A and B are shown apart, each in its own frame.
Chain A
């Protein structure tokens, strides 16, 4: 499995865009990039995923570089409720049945 590198913590002002980076320099051609977040001690919440194209949904946008070695999760207008640990994961979904290996993630603090 490709491994990911994320900064351990980040701060963001409420109402501003939060840009969370992730490096996955050893990613394989058929591995997806997934983002999850975990608020306090709740179960992780799926945010978004992509293969090579940029993706957007109601929660966030995912920007994947052309060489696929890094990606950025963008929360366009961060709120206090977005304070959480954000995990970037790469996975060969179909062949391994969705075997997701979590790293340490980035602890995002949204401040008033």
Chain B
């Protein structure tokens, strides 16, 4: 198993650009989540999903969209990038009450 795969690993965007952060898992996990982590801070939940076709907002959903058309993929879309969205983004997946497996992160800089 590849686990949780996030692409790209690094990205620089200009203010106002849009992009999609990709997240894929090959463990047949139902639950998937997106977090952001600002420098020196803890993780904050952006959006999460309990299965294909079902998503919900987390703590900081503004400026981000998600969809879950398949069990394997959970892309995160930035609609119009802002400097405040400069952060490290982590995707995670889990099965039932087992612990989440996290990806290695996408480091995003918005200039």
How many chain A residues touch the partner (CB < 8 A)? 25
Q: Give the contact stretch, choosing among A16-24, A36-44, A63-71, A74-82.
A: A36-44
**CB contact under 8 A between A44 and B59, given known A98-B33, A101-B45:** no
Q: Are A101 and B105 in contact (CB under 8 A)?
A: no
What residues of B have a CB within 8 angstroms of the CB of A43 in the complex? 4, 90, 92, 102-105
In the complex, what distance in Å separates the CA atom of A105 from the CA atom of B96? 24
Residue B35, interface by CB 8 Å = yes
Are A45 and B94 touching (Cβ within 8 A)?
no
A103 / chain B contacts, CB cutoff of 8 Å: 42
Smallest CB gap from B99: residue in A: A46
- Prevailing SS type, chain A contact patch: loop
Query: In the docked arrangement, what's the CA distance between A103 and B41, Å?
Result: 9
Contact A41 B101 (CB under 8 A): no
Would B56 and A34 count as touching, CB distance under 8 A?
no
In the complex, the answer to whether A46 meets B104 with C-beta atoms within 8 Å is no
Q: 11 new A-B pairs (CB below 8 Å) besides A100-B45, A101-B59?
A: A36-B100, A43-B105, A46-B98, A47-B99, A49-B97, A98-B33, A98-B48, A98-B50, A101-B45, A102-B43, A103-B42
Contact surface of A with B, Cβ cutoff 8 Å? 32, 34, 36, 41-49, 85, 87, 93-94, 97-105
B residues neighboring A (CB under 8 Å):
4, 30-31, 33, 35, 41-45, 48-51, 54, 56, 58-59, 88, 90, 92, 94, 96-105
A-B pairs with beta carbons under 8 Å apart, 28 shown:
A34-B99, A36-B99, A36-B100, A41-B88, A41-B105, A42-B105, A43-B102, A44-B90, A44-B92, A45-B102, A46-B99, A46-B101, A85-B42, A93-B96, A94-B96, A97-B30, A97-B51, A97-B54, A97-B56, A98-B33, A98-B97, A99-B48, A100-B33, A102-B43, A103-B42, A104-B41, A104-B42, A105-B42
